[in-house]
Amino acid sequence: MKVHQHTFFELVYIIEGEGIHNINGNDLRYGPGSLYLLSPMMTHHFTVDQLTSFIFVRFNNIYLKGVLDKGDRRKSGTWAKKLDYIFQSKQDQGDIIKNERDKPLTAAIVDAIVAEYELGQAMQQEVVEQLINTLITIVARNITVKCDAKTGGDVVALQIVNYIHLNVYDPEKLKAEIIAEHFNISSNYISEYFKKQTGENLQQFIINYKLSLAETRLRYSNMRLNEIAFELGFTDESHLTKTFKKYKGESPAQFKKNIRANIAPVNLQVS
């Protein structure tokens, strides 16, 4: 399987076999039950040592938008936030599933997805979509575990990080006094406490997370800058531009221009 890139997100699950999965130049051993998350434009290839069976789950922004447009917006919105959490975690190398109890669950979900496609029963698309959403939620849970290192293993600090991830679109809930009340911590102490555990003060963490989401929108979507600003709770497009330039050293427009200039031709291979 030659070196190639994709224009979509991809989950790669190894059903059986062994070999090396090279992601962005790093060789990683794979085996049965390994699961990888690949973002658009990442380069990767496989060197197969033993006959290998792969499952590829591929999705893009059109699929994500479709999820938000269907059914219960409250529930699908929560799931979309989990997706943002996955993308911003920069979990781009290594087997994602760290929780041993999740390995048999992941295998069962993958088996169910395959069975649905093979049997072709009624409501197949709806069942597959729910299974994929569950798989992505498991991925999110395992990436959450990796946040322990960022929070020094402190349970409350990790809970605050998760709270910010899930409420990043609601500026009211991101106020220091609201977060402090939610976690029963003094509003005068919460920023100091958070910095002690993570090395970054509370508001700085929130701003950096919002800007990382803005980067994702600029990189992978066709959203206008004023739409991104509104979604992420900035006052207006100018506010987002000034903040982005202050922390990233370039304007959003320049950032997007540089992305287009640096994108290499995509060599799509059927894997």
CATH topology of domain 151-262: Arc Repressor Mutant, subunit A (1.10.10)
DSSP-derived secondary structure for 31-64: -TT-EEEE-TT--EEEEESS--EEEEEEE-HHHH
pTM reported for the whole predicted model = 0.65
Domain ranges (residues) in the chain: 9-148, 151-262
> Which band of pLDDT confidence, cut at 50, 70 and 90, is reported for residue 48?
very high
| CA distance linking residue 44 with residue 21, whole number of Å | 7
Name the residue among 215, 247, 254 with its Cα closest to residue 232. Answer: 215
Q: What is the pLDDT, as a whole number, of residue 13?
A: 95
Average per-residue pLDDT in the chain? 82
Find all residues with CB under 8 Å of 216, minimum gap 6, and list them: 84, 87, 88
The pLDDT value recorded for residue 268 is 33
Looking at residue 78, its pLDDT comes to 65
- Residues contacting residue 82 through CB under 8 Å, at least 6 positions apart: 136, 137, 140
pLDDT of residue 252: 94
pLDDT in tens, 99-158: 889 999 999 999 999 999 888 888 888 899 889 888 988 887 887 665 555 555 677 888
Look up the CATH number of domain 9-148: 2.60.120
